[in-house]
A and B are shown apart, each in its own frame.
Chain A
Amino acid sequence: MVAAGCRFFAGYPMTPFTEVLEEMAKKLPAVGGVCMNAESELEAVGMAWGAAATGTPAATGSTGQGLSLMQESLAEITLARLPLVVLNMARAQGDYWQATRGGGHGDYRHLVLAPVDVVEGVELVQRAFHLAATWRNPVLVFGDYYLAHTARSVEVAPLDLGPAPAKEWALTGDTGGSGRAKLVSFLGSVKQRDGAGYDLAVHYAACAEHTAKMLREVPPEAETGFIDDADVVVVAFGTPGAYVRSAVRSLRSEGMRVGWIRPITLVPFPSEVIAAAARNAKVVAVYENNAGQMLDDVRLSVLGDAPVAFIGGLSLDASGFGIAPDLQVSVLRRRILDVAERHR
């Protein structure tokens, strides 16, 4: 986060997000940044909103539950065209719809990146800040308990992502009295010279156009393996994606024609890769640690070209965090073999 340029962070403790807040409280002051232990998630996102409006690279986060509290602000921050990075250190994977559809009101989308491990997380957080600054739009990094609670030594090499656009919109306080004082508002940032109030129709249309352009131009990304000749294609994201990868590799070594796709960007969703793989496959299987949410996006990608089977399920972890016994390569192997058997 700090290497990615983050200089303002606000959060409210909640497992498994807490360690992020602890680390930011430790690391940000050392680089001249600010970390706020906010009094609620509502205030955490509000503080991040204020800092972002001054052009300061800002972030907030929580688990899905805390993000539910933040949704009103996250929706309006998007319509105010502010860059912000939001972390969801989720419990299991039940927040897929919240992350990709947005739990808030109105027409808006967030870009969503889902790292598989700490190494990829370091890269994606840097890209999240760059995407947020480039598109003036919140970017969500969707992790889980494993990602939040895994400590690994990684080389944090700053990525050269190119320059982000200048922040001429950022509030600095010094344009008052000039006749063109800056306005940052989710109701519209164009002042009405010939009347009073905002024109929401104009603003919302401009935001929708911007969102469509963003979703067109940001390339969807996925990690794939063995999909060229796969009869069974397994789709999974985040930490479960690593377990699926392992199960598929072991089945491949036994001669089974199976492949995997791991979406790295959940928004925009890598539909074309999945559609292409589905055209040659007998079945597309989806593994998620929930009751079947990304399943919808996979079905929309496949559009009937192949049957889509759900091989995931709700977390069996009594704590609700999505830990053991959810992820087991042997269980995944069995489910993939079952699906293959049913779609021979």
Chain B
Amino acid sequence: MTERTRSQVVPTDAPPQVPARLVGDFTPALVDVGLHHLCPGCGEPIAVRSLLEAIGELALAQRTITVFGIGCYTAFSNNLDVEVLQALHGRAPSVATGVKRAQPGTVVVTVQGDGDMVSEGLQEVLHAAARGENITCVMLNNGVFGETGGHMTATTVLGQRTKTSLEGRDAAAHGRPILLADLISRLDGAAYVARCAVNSAGELARTHRALRRALETQLSGAGFSFVEILTMCPTGWFVETTEAPRYLADNLGAVHWAGVLKDLRAGADAAE
């Protein structure tokens, strides 16, 4: 049974007691400094925030070690109020394995992008999953190398234009994308595998639930947990910021299908 978090009910029968604040004004809990250099419209801060909130809600801030890969999101490894171990591009799962095996009492979460996890470091995440390593790996998948300026990764979908697939990714010339969550769900050591997105409030709510369940999987000791989060990259996609959520749904989301692919937690609701 998952315990529901109860939000405070805001009375609407009288004027509010405190002035309203824009969401963008907040520095969320577990963030030290509210500054980052990421582009407007980027999905990665939303995903990282959702992860931090899940860690906070499950009261895990004081036993969590996060392991960051290299990508735009690396900007966050410097300003979080959870412990961070910075790993190389592609290598976070083995580093996280060392942390977890040396300190089994900690909750260990990797944050990597699609270039990091699928292009550079595919072997690492597959072996960690196959070993049933009791860690949580989070992949921020925008189908492009955002930090270098919009180049093809192993998850770039067919037809997607990047600086290294100028006329769109072509199966004959560039090969087909790897659907990593599908691949991982086939490995026996994987206990929880979900793919979700942050391009709408509803998708974000599902992402948040998946992150919580992945962490709960790790807490239960059931094995490897994996959450793939589709994130917007208007800069790397060469689309308008406001167009990015729709572009995600029409392109990336049409190939990398969202859903819970595997859930072996004790008592998990198979119907979800």
Contacts and interface: CB of A to CB of B under 8 A. Distances in A.
Interface of A: 7-8, 10, 34, 36, 38-40, 42-54, 56, 58, 72-73, 76, 80, 171-179, 181-188, 191-193, 195-198
B119 interface: no
Contacts of A73: 88, 91
Nearest to B56: A177
B32 A191 contact: yes
B77 A50 contact: no
Contact of A47 (B30, B94, B106): B94
A330 B36 CA distance: 68
Contacts of A172: 83, 103, 106
Q: Which range holds the interface residue count of chain B? A: 35 or more
Q: Is the interface of B mostly helix, strand, loop or mixed?
A: mixed
A193 B64 contact: no
B84 A192 contact: no
Interface of B: 29-30, 32-33, 35-37, 55-56, 60-65, 67, 74-75, 77-88, 91, 93-103, 105-107, 123-124, 127
B236 to A, nearest CB: 19
B127 A196 contact: no
A226 to B, nearest CB: 47
A173 B203 CA distance: 30
B63 A173 contact: yes
Given A46-B91, A73-B88, A196-B35, A177 B101 contact: no
A54 B103 contact: yes
Contact of B77 (A36, A178, A185, A193): A185
Given A173-B107, A185-B77, A197-B75, A54 B99 contact: yes
A235 to B, nearest CB: 37
B259 to A, nearest CB: 29
Nearest to B128: A43
A46 B91 CA distance: 7
Given A39-B127, A76-B88, A171-B85, A176 B98 contact: no
B82 A176 contact: yes
A184 B55 CA distance: 20
A187 B78 contact: yes
Given A51-B102, A181-B83, A187-B86, 15 more contacts: A40-B123, A43-B97, A43-B123, A43-B124, A43-B127, A44-B94, A46-B95, A47-B97, A51-B99, A56-B103, A58-B102, A175-B62, A175-B83, A182-B83, A196-B37
A59 to B, nearest CB: 12
A178 B98 contact: no
19 contacts: A34-B101, A43-B97, A43-B127, A46-B91, A46-B93, A50-B95, A50-B98, A53-B99, A54-B98, A58-B102, A80-B86, A174-B62, A176-B82, A178-B81, A184-B84, A187-B74, A193-B32, A195-B33, A196-B36
A173 B65 contact: yes
A181 B124 contact: no
A48 B63 CA distance: 20
Contacts of A48: 98
Query: For B77, B78, B88, B107, which residue has the most chain A Cβ atoms within 10 angstroms?
Result: B78
Contacts of A191: 32-33, 78-79
Nearest to A73: B88
Contacts of A198: 78
A183 B83 contact: yes
B175 to A, nearest CB: 23
B46 to A, nearest CB: 17
Nearest to B34: A196
A72 B33 contact: no
Contact of B83 (A51, A52, A176, A186): A176
B190 to A, nearest CB: 16
Given A43-B127, A191-B32, A183 B77 contact: yes
A173 B78 contact: no
A191 B67 CA distance: 16
Contacts of B101: 8, 34, 36, 47, 50-51
A60 B252 CA distance: 40
A127 B49 CA distance: 44
Given A46-B87, A196-B33, A181 B98 contact: no
B82 A56 contact: no
